[in-house]
């Protein structure tokens, strides 16, 4: 029945409040389009052909799933024609030769930062930073990816604003609200004291878990909750938390390639309050993913609880942050706000194959992305989508 996850696409160079606004505006436009289609009886417009991307040339090591170790990256990488990732676009032979064999200040090899995109040629981006310093030491590479993805220039400054009163999100009408199943907003954070996930040691990860879980379990009021380590969690409890959209999945191949899944499940876990409206993932892709979610479409309420919770955690934990990139995350798509605001929404007509081009055009216009409802890289089988800002 056409359910999607619709969320903001941009994360950097704009405030948190502006990104939540992106999501609201995009969702509103999609609802209007869905309603218009319903009136018309669901007629399908012609579909536009997707644009192709040029391949990199003159390389020595072929990209593909056989690349499982950085030792195999002995020369510039040749991607198959049609590869669309930003690693394919910006890991030129010049950049590769300039940085091969070097490490950032935390000791993370450059090759580890690009291995995911070289191994997984279906990546959208394909790069992960090993530490906060990776973004400076390899600025010549990461700044291009960041400008391409976010439109944020190499001298751009990032300014945060988590003030929910700045939102212009009037409540949806009763009919429109009925299309929205749930709302979720998350921000990613990493501790200033440690490298990012690809570069962290097992001991540092455990230390990070101990610090973060202590901060989280000291929260009070409606944020008060418990920390549940993944290690020792019953399989059925873990599966239920995943199925109910609260917990991360495991075994993401993009994260495996950059070393983010080492020593799984050690050091990983989830904190949540009793109502499961305020949660934090610990040591998945980022050291913290702070999450506010609930059924229904009260975007302002969800954002305000998130900003309260994130501020309370930040009082007790120093996060990696700078003026250019805002909050620092391992994936360059998340730097800045690291915020993804999404709704799960039923769009059976707009979301049908026949209307794909229109659906994607609205998503592009409002800077929102369309996911399936079982997390990133999931397809929608039942017409509900995750629309992030």
CB 41 within 8 A of CB 34: no
Q: Which of 13, 34, 48 is nearest to 339 (CA)?
A: 13
209 is catalytic: no
CB 6 within 8 A of CB 34: no
Q: Which does 342 bind (CB under 5 to 8 A by kind): ligand ARG, ligand ADP, none?
A: ligand ADP
One of 331, 343, 349, 370 touching ligand ARG (CB under 6 A): 331
308-338: buried (b, 16+ CB within 10 Å) or exposed (e) per residue? bbbebbbeebebbbeebbbbbbbbbbbbbbb
E strand or H helix at 216: helix 202-217
Per CB under 6 A, contacts with ligand ARG among 271-310 are: 285
d(CA 208, CA 226): 17
x/- contact string, 119-148, with ligand ARG (CB under 6 A)?
Answer: ----xxxx----------------------
Cα separation values, 22 from 96, 159, 348, 370, 388, Å: 36, 17, 22, 13, 9
376 is catalytic: yes
Catalytic residue (one of 184, 186, 189, 268): 186
Rounded to the nearest whole angstrom, what is the least distance from the CB of residue 47 to ligand ADP in the complex?
A: 26
335 is catalytic: no
205 is catalytic: no
- Residue closest to ligand ARG (Cβ): 331
Residue 1 CB partners (closer than 8 Å, separation 6+): 346, 348, 382, 383, 384
Catalytic residue (one of 331, 335, 337, 389): 331
Rounded to the nearest whole angstrom, what is the least distance from the CB of residue 168 to ligand ADP in the complex?
A: 20
| Helix, strand counts (H, E) of the chain | 12, 13
Q: Is 116 among the residues that bind ligand ARG (CB under 6 A)?
A: yes
d(CA 215, CA 193): 15
Q: Which does 254 bind (CB under 5 to 8 A by kind): ligand ADP, ligand ARG, none?
A: ligand ARG
Q: Which does 386 bind (CB under 5 to 8 A by kind): ligand ADP, ligand ARG, none?
A: ligand ADP
253 is catalytic: no
d(CA 105, CA 133): 6
Torsion region of 245: left, alpha or beta (phi above 0 gives left; psi -120 to 50 gives alpha): left
Helix (H, G, I), strand (E, B) or coil at 360: helix
x/- contact string, 165-204, with ligand ARG (CB under 6 A)?
Answer: ----------------------------------------
- Residue closest to ligand ADP (Cβ): 375
Catalytic residue (one of 285, 305, 329, 337): 285
Residues that bind ligand ADP (CB under 6 A): 5, 182-184, 186, 245, 289, 293, 340, 342-344, 371, 373-376, 386
Which active-site residues does the annotation give? 186, 285, 289, 331, 333, 340, 371, 376
């Amino acid at each position: 029945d056409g359910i999607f996850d619709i969320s903001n696409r941009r994360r950097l160079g704009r405030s948190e409040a502006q990104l939540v606004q992106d999501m609201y505006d995009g969702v509103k436009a999609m609802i209007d389009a869905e309603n218009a289609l319903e009136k018309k009886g669901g007629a399908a417009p012609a579909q536009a052909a997707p644009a192709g991307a040029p391949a990199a040339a003159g390389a020595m090591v072929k990209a593909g799933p056989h690349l499982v170790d950085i030792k195999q990256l002995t020369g510039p990488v040749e991607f198959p024609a049609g590869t669309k990732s930003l690693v394919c676009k910006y890991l030129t032979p010049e950049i590769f030769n300039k940085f091969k064999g070097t490490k950032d200040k935390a000791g993370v090899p450059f090759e580890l930062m690009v291995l995911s995109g070289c191994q997984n040629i279906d990546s959208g981006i394909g790069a992960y930073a090993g530490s906060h310093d990776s973004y400076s030491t390899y600025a010549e590479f990461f700044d291009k990816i960041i400008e391409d993805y976010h439109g944020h220039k190499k001298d751009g400054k990032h300014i945060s604003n988590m003030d929910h009163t700045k939102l212009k999100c009037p409540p949806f009408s009763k009919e429109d609200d009925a299309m929205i199943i749930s709302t979720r907003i998350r921000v990613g954070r990493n501790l200033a004291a440690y490298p990012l996930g690809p570069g962290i040691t097992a001991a540092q990860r455990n230390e990070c878990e101990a610090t973060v879980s202590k901060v989280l379990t000291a929260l009070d009021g409606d944020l008060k909750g418990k920390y549940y380590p993944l290690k020792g969690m019953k399989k059925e409890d873990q599966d239920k938390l995943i199925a109910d959209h609260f917990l991360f999945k495991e075994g993401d191949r993009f994260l495996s390639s950059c070393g983010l899944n080492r020593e799984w499940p050690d050091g990983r876990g989830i904190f949540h309050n009793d109502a499961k409206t305020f949660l934090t993932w610990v040591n998945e892709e980022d050291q913290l993913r702070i999450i506010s979610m609930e059924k229904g479409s009260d975007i302002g309420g969800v954002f305000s609880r998130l900003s309260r919770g994130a501020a309370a955690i930040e009082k007790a934990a120093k996060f990696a942050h700078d003026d250019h990139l805002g909050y620092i995350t391992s994936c360059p798509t998340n730097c800045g706000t690291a915020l993804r605001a999404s709704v799960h929404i039923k769009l059976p007509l707009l979301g049908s194959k026949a209307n794909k081009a229109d659906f994607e055009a609205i998503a592009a216009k409002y800077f929102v992305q369309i996911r399936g409802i079982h997390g990133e890289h999931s397809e929608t089988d039942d017409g509900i989508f995750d629309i992030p800002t």
